[in-house]
Structure 1
Amino acid sequence: MHEVPVTAANGKDLVQSLHKMSRILQCFGPDARTLSLNEVHERTGFPKATTHRLLSSMKEIGFIEQARGRDRYRLGLRLFEMGSLFLANLDLHREAQPHVDRLAKISGESVHLCIFDGLHAVFVDRKELESGPSSLVMTIEGAPSYCTSVGKAILAYRGDDTIDRVIAAGLRRYTPTTITDPDLLRVDLAETRRRGYSIDRSEHQANRQCVGAPIRDAGGSVFASISVSGLRDRVPEQRIPILGDLVIETATTISKALGWTPVAEA
């Protein structure tokens, strides 16, 4: 079998197909775990024949599976395998794991480690109260970046274009204290930068307060965060600055282990 040479024309077609496949993958989410052909067609705006062809191709490589009598589609196992492999090889998890355990022990609260995917804070590691050593999170689970301490600790150090994109995606209200006003969110993120740590005052989950700090890569860019989380009576307002110092110290230690120095940041 002869290989087809890559030309400028078919190379462009390949890139366009990859972009379209990415659009299809983004149609799925916690509130849309399975979708019909018509639903994918409506969400992407692609012609129905194109949508069917792309879904068939993605099914062949394991990115998509068919469910419910073949009339519904869902994300495929191959994506989970690739995500798990990515997390397993992630320097962040390897370097941060002992610090996650230490922070949980010192604070006496749950600790979460997250990376940023452009819109959400995606959990990489967690240490819950009364559990064993922290371990790799084997399900790709994301949290809103605008109303969680792990998310705001990252978002506060991203550019205006990223903040605008998060706002454009919608500021859903989860609790009475969720910040849904874009201007108030920007003020909150500015305050996070001033303090060095973020605060979630029951904005995502009722009766739960969280404090988070940013983690930097070797070049100084904020790409991850770590937080302490507990019930409001365990994390009252007067305890927040103490936990803030703890998460900043832990985040700084992890950042340095990843190669970051104040000189690199400058």
Structure 2
Amino acid sequence: MGEADSNISATALKALAVLDFMGEQRRPVTVNEAAEGIGADRATVYRMLMTLVQAGYVARDSVSKHYRLSFKILSLARHLVGEDERAGHILACLRRISEETSETVHFSMLDRDAAVLVFRAKGVQRVTVDFQIGDRSALPCTSIGKVLLAYQDLRATEAIIAAGLPKVAPKTITDPDAFRRELALVRAQGYAYDDLEFAPDMRCVAVPVFENGGAVPGGIAISGPSSRFDLDRLDALRIVAVREAAALSRTLGGLP
């Protein structure tokens, strides 16, 4: 095992782990729940929580003694999803796709080992896949994850593969060589499908969005129930998504 990096604070990492755990629960938590969730002792987690309360990132209910994330978290992240010029272009693109297809359309960005949903345009279909802004998706088993990985540095791809390719649905790709071939195909054709790879009743299509220098920090995805999203429907959605993503890429200074 390698030596710990002296520039990294283990205490700060634990505090951030507490915030991650609280965000995943979507409900107030107790000290014991947080301690069990991050695998730390109760006294340490209590100090972490009280420090976060003092800093304003966590709120404590004095009656129930439960803890929840505070709205300061939103203030901290507001610039990431703010209505700047770039966001306006992305949202306009998503709305065009949604209006043409009647589907809910998502724009997600790569964040280390996950794709984070940043923008969305709601469709009019009654039965949808209800992803929310801020949701994190695994990279290997989702169409958006495959699109984002296909255009990253080889080291990033290999790190994801080395971390494991767990089977989460009937057709999840778990073989490393098969996954490498899948990413090569995605890069060659310019889009990715998720065919029952993330959930047994869901299919998705995703396309990259190129920005300055040819980078692909984000992409567009359309997901839906497999009962409506057969392969013909996926192909029709792909045509619209590729066309609009290419126009958005040109607007953002990329080269599709």
SS of the residue aligned with 1:104?
A: helix
Q: Does 1:157 align with 2:129?
A: no
Whether the 8 Å CA contact 1:80–1:139 is kept in 2: the answer is no
Amino acid at match of 1:122: V
Q: Which residue does 1:98 correspond to in 2? A: 92
Partner residue, 1:5: none
For 2:212, what is the secondary structure of its paired residue? coil
Distance 1:44 1:232, change over 3 A: closer
8 Å Cα contact 2:210/2:255 also seen in 1: no
Tell me, yes or no, if the aligned pair for 2:102 and 2:124 is still in contact at 8 Å. Answer: no
Task: Tell me if the contact between 1:144 and 1:151 (Cα under 8 Å) persists in the aligned partners.
Answer: yes
Q: Residue 254 of structure 2 aligns to a residue in which SS?
A: coil
- Partner residue of 2:128? none
Structure-to-structure mapping, 1:172-191, within 5 angstroms: 172-191=166-185
Q: Secondary structure, in 3 states, of the residue corresponding to 2:137?
A: strand
Write the letter of the residue equivalent to 1:190: A
- Please tell me the residue identity of whatever aligns with 1:162: A
1:224: how far off?
Answer: 0.8
Inter-CA distance 171–91: structure 2 relative to 1 (3 Å threshold): farther
Q: Answer yes or no: is 1:114 the counterpart of 2:105.
A: no
Mapping for residues 43-192 of structure 1, pairs under 5 Å: 49-66=43-60, 69=63, 71-89=65-83, 91-130=85-124, 139-167=133-161, 171-192=165-186
Q: Helix, strand or coil for the counterpart of 1:219?
A: helix
Q: Is the 8 A contact 1:211 1:228 kept in 2?
A: yes
Instruction: Give the % identical residues.
Output: 28
- Structure 1 stretches of 5 or more lacking a match? 1-11, 132-136
Partner in structure 2 of residue 254 of structure 1: 248
**Cα distance, 1:195 vs. partner?**
1.2
**What are the superposed Cα offsets for residues 86-136 of structure 1, whole Å, 9 maximum, x if unpaired?**
3124554311112112112333433211122222222222233327xxxxx
- Asked whether the equivalents of residues 214 and 255 of structure 2 are also in contact (C-alpha less than 8 Å), the reply is yes
Rounded Cα–Cα distance in structure 2 between residues aligned with 1:14 and 1:229: 38
Question: 1:119 & 1:181 partners in 2: Cα distance?
Answer: 18
Quote the Cα distance in structure 2 between the aligned partners of 1:231 and 1:45: 36
CA contact (8 A) 1:113 1:227 kept: yes
Quick one: which amino acid aligns to residue 196 of structure 2? S
Q: 1:229 to 1:54 in 2, by over 3 A?
A: closer
CA contact (8 A) 1:83 1:140 kept: no
Aligned residues between the structures: 246
Distance 1:14 1:237 in 2: 47
Structure 2 unaligned regions, length at least 5: 1-5, 126-130
Residue in structure 1 matching 2:193, options 184, 188, 199: 199
Provide, for residues 200-250 of structure 1, a one-character-per-residue CA deviation record: whole Å limited to 9, x for no partner.
112223333211111123232211110233343543324544433332222
Residues 23 and 69, structure 2, Cα contact 8 Å, conserved in 1: no
Within 2, Cα distance between the matches of 1:46 and 1:193? 42
Residue-by-residue CA offset, 1:144-184 (whole Å, 9 max, x unaligned): 22222222211222234433444466545443223344443
TM-score of the two chains, using structure 2 as the length reference: 0.76
